[in-house]
Structure 1
Amino acid sequence: MASKLILVTGASSGIGAATAKHYGAAGAKVLLLARNRDRLEAVASDIRASDGSASPYAIDLADADAVTEVSAEITADHGAPDVLINNAGTGRWLSILNTTPEEARAMMDVPYFAAFYVSRAFLPAMVARRSGRIACITSPAGYLAWADACAYIAARHAMKGFAEAMRADLKGTGVSVTLVVLGTVETPYWEHNPGSREHLPATNPRLLPTLTPDQAASAIVDGVERRRRTVIKPGIFRAIFIANALFPTFVARQLRKKG
């Protein structure tokens, strides 16, 4: 990892911060992107305190022009990243009737358009170099659908489709794409999106335990290093996705039960 350049979006807290710290502890140089400058600086300070290397870039990832500018700055300062983690995400879990057009657009801006802008900015250099790894982080909402999370689910389906289509575009270029599907993770997301947790479908915590940010970060780092096509954690979601494909009515009935 000592020679690797890692870029993590949504790196100011939660999964992104934990992933950045994992890479920093392994000796990589980490580039941190998110909107909140103070929280980014705090994450960068933690990485440096552990003898890691981190450079924060405060940016609104929903702004295509801002992404173009910061990607040019990063390329001039560091070169193109070896690993790009598209982790930034936002959005409350609301029904379509309770979601404004502005909220729906914002939920598509981040994660989907943010991932598109950042990936497209660095891909030419990765393809020219014939090496690179990209991860797109989504949730089981990319495979399933339940009530009271309409725009959120649509955006996560978009992330899944983006990762799979980008992988097809990049076949034979030396650049790999990993789709990471994470179940419930205990992060500040729930505090920043009040009312969302109440819309979680009911689950058995022994079968589908809540992940810590460190567990999520470990799954991301391991999957990217192994160049896996898809990482799903907890793994039992694989069986749930298969069941949904075979018995969609039954699965939809189960998802109506709230936690």
Structure 2
Amino acid sequence: MAAKLVLVTGASSGIGEATALRYGAAGAHVLLLARNAERLYGVAHAIREAGGTATAFPIDLQGSEATKETAARIEAEIGTPDLLINNAGAGRWLPLVETSPEDARAMIDVPYLAAFNLTRAFAPAMIARRAGGIVFVTSPASYLAWPNASAYIAARRALAGFAEGLQSELKGTGVAVTLVVLGTVDTPYWEHNPDSLENVPSANPWLMPTLSPAQAADAIFAGAARKTLFVVKPAVYRALFVLNALFPKTVASQLRRAAKKARGSKG
């Protein structure tokens, strides 16, 4: 594995935890960032128990100054990561009238500004050495829109736009940028963001199965290793993104119907 020092945000549970464990098992020194210190230290312990190496950095990534300080500490004490995985995300899927300005701001803070701040902190050294990888983990909301998740969708589109802009900006520098789009993943995210699951558009489980955290981690691991620009899992979403580009009104209509069906079945 080329990446020997891997930083994972949102590493205390769900996709981030599974990704950290995956890299730890592959022999990387994994740097773990998340708010929940107890869980974060637990993940670090699990990696070490399995024979890997991990260092935990409890941090609230909503704070730009704290993020800068932690990045500087990592640079000074350990070094520039070979791979930065911007996985941390937050936000409830709610209608506009139920979303406060504070909620909307928090969804911009994490994932978008958190990813911006960390990437801005480590990118100069990656560019200088002409080697490195940056991964952004997002949801289909970056490319599709449905009712009752408008603020979440806006934040995710900001993250995807940043990643796509960097792919163009950093081309030829030796720094690879990978955007990973994951469908519904069975994680504690839904427990931490109540009333969100009922706003997930209903989908055929055969076509769009719910992913396990391990499956999500495998997609991230493989995409970063291959320096793939755009990873989509389940793959059927690729076809949906193309259809949305060609027939946006039709796709929007179907998504509204699926969202209405979901609220009806879960309400």
Q: Please indicate the TM-score interval, normalised by the length of the shorter structure.
A: over 0.9
Write out aligned runs for 1:1-259 (5 A).
Answer: 1=1, 4-256=4-256, 257-258=258-259, 259=262
Q: Deviations over 1:86-131 (max 9, x none)?
A: 0000000011111000000000000000000000000111011100
Give the match's secondary structure for 2:228: coil
Opposite residue 168 of structure 2, the aligned amino acid is A
Is the Cα contact below 8 Å between 1:87 and 1:137 reproduced in 2? yes
Gaps of 5+ in 2: 263-267
Offset at 1:246?
Answer: 1.1
Deviation readout 1:127-152 (Å, 9 max, x if unpaired):
11100000000100000000000111
Report deviation, 1:2: 8.1
TM superposition shift of 1:32 = 0.1
2:121 partner SS: helix
Partner secondary structure for residue 195 of structure 1:
coil
State the distance in 2 between where 1:180 and 1:90 align: 16
Distance 1:193 1:35 in 2: 15
Structure-2 separation of matches of 1:254 and 1:171: 37
Q: CA deviation at 1:170?
A: 0.9
Q: Is the contact between residue 142 and residue 156 of structure 1 (CA under 8 Å) also seen in structure 2?
A: yes
> What is the TM-score of this pair, normalised by structure 1?
0.98
- The 3-state SS of whatever aligns with 2:54 is strand
Deviations 1:50-71 (A, max 9, x none): 0000000011111111111111
Query: Helix, strand or coil: the match of 1:136?
Result: strand
Task: Letter of the 1:203 partner, please give it.
Answer: A
User: By how many angstroms is 1:222 displaced?
Assistant: 0.2
Q: Once superposed, which parts of structure 1, at least 4 consecutive aligned residues long, lie more than 2 Å away? A: none
Q: Is the 8 A contact 1:2 1:28 kept in 2?
A: no
Per-residue displacement from partner, 1:15-66 (whole Å, max 9, x unpaired)?
Answer: 0000000000011000000111101001001101100000000111111111
CA distance in 2, matches of 1:230, 1:243: 17
RMSD: 0.9
The one-letter code matched in structure 1 to 2:213 is P
Structure 1 unmatched ranges of 5 or more: none
SS at match of 2:154: helix
Residue 3 of structure 1 deviates from its aligned partner by 6.7
Identity %: 62
Count of matched residue pairs: 259
Name the CA shift for 1:93/1:128 in 2 (closer, same or farther; >3 Å). same
The answer as to whether partners of 1:140 and 1:181 remain within 8 angstroms in 2 is yes
- Amino acid aligned to 1:102: E
Task: Using structure 2 for the length normalisation, give the TM-score.
Answer: 0.95
Residue 250 of structure 1 deviates from its aligned partner by 1.2
Mapped partners of 1:48, 1:91: distance in 2: 31
